Amino acid sequence: MALSTLCALFVFFSAGCYSGEAAVAIIGDSVNLTASKSCADGEFKLMAHDSKVTVATFINGAWKSEGRYQNRITHSSPSTVVLTDVRYNDNLLYEFFCKGTADTIIQLEVIIPDDESVTEGERAQLKCYSRTKERPVKFMRWEKDGELVLEQERGPGLRYGTGFGERNVSVSPDWYPTGDLSLTMEKVRAEDRGVYMCYTVEEDGGKRRGNPAAVRMKITERIPDQNTPPTECPNEKPPGEKGMSAWTIVAIIGLGLGLGLGLGLGLGLGAFYWFRSHRSNVSSGPGAESSDVEMKPLNGSAPLGSHVNGGPS
């Protein structure tokens, strides 16, 4: 039986066909389709199996396309074709042909992710479910943009991807009996945005994708509380306000000293004149003793109308 027929039957029963691994693409993204080896000195092309449409041909050291795949093919290497702007109808079986012989068969699976929006700093829970009951599941796995986030065995075995070990990332300890593979992530960061995928791996190495197969997490930047006034530094001046110059400060101090001295001098002089005037009025008032001395005639006679000892003799 031809290789393409065998692989087609395998795809029909297992929803996956690959010489290495099946290719998976998020709708709208790009995906690499890679042959198991390059083709030297012969025609090398990639074809869509169902329609026998040529997707790309390796010409003069680069992959080129035409027809409905035109402008959607990018050269990566002599054995790798990059299919851009993936569409749902790209969910097909692809074959690399070297000198007219099928070399590599790839099943491309196109996935439409669920969207999950989370505010920066909050908790995220990415839903994923899988039928695990009575299945020989060895472990479950979460990936972000193709890189490991978390791998949890049915037993205590647990492995984290780079940068996630120190984070509070987890799945339910009852994921196997319940089939709930949902991922919980505390205090998400801006760099956590991306496409997350979950699946189970069975004892024979077969993979089974969860439902939904992928979640695209979007991170919303946290906006500061508008009701909370900004904290001001005690020494901080309002915008546009300038400090006083040294000369201005000296002038203000000099003016204050001058006013103080003038006021003190004025009060002192006023008090002096008031005290002097008050003392003069007291000395010349009623009941005060006169300093004048009565002059008597030299002959000892008393003037007319004068009385001695109370009256005339």
Domains of the chain, by residue range, sit at: 3-111, 114-220
| Residues paired with residue 139 on neighbouring β-strands, in sequence order | 153, 201
Distances in Å between the Cα of 313 and the Cα atoms of 169, 294, 295, 300, 309 are 141, 22, 22, 16, 9
**Which residues are within 8 A (CB) of 126 and not within 5 positions of it... i.e. 6 or more apart?**
116, 142, 182, 183, 185, 196, 198, 215, 217
Q: Which residue has the tokens 């790839």?
A: 106
What's the CA gap between 177 and 187, in Å, rounded?
28
Write out the H or E segment, with its range, that includes residue 199: strand 194-202
pLDDT score, position 12: 36
CATH of span 3-111: 2.60.40.10
pLDDT score, position 88: 95
Residues 141 and 244 sit within 8 Å (Cβ to Cβ): no
Q: Which residues of the chain have pLDDT under 50?
A: 1-20, 288-295, 298, 300-313
Q: Do the domains 3-111 and 114-220 sit in the same CATH topology, yes or no?
A: yes
Q: Are strands 137-144 and 194-202 parallel, antiparallel or unpaired?
A: antiparallel
Residues 73 and 58 sit within 8 Å (Cβ to Cβ): no
Distances in Å between the Cα of 285 and the Cα atoms of 219, 277, 278 are 101, 13, 11
pLDDT score, position 41: 79
pTM: 0.60
Residues 72 and 84 sit within 8 Å (Cβ to Cβ): yes
Residues 129 and 211 sit within 8 Å (Cβ to Cβ): yes
What's the CA gap between 93 and 107, in Å, rounded?
5
For domain 114-220, give its CATH number from 3.30.470.10, 2.60.40.10, 1.10.10.10, 3.40.190.10. Answer: 2.60.40.10
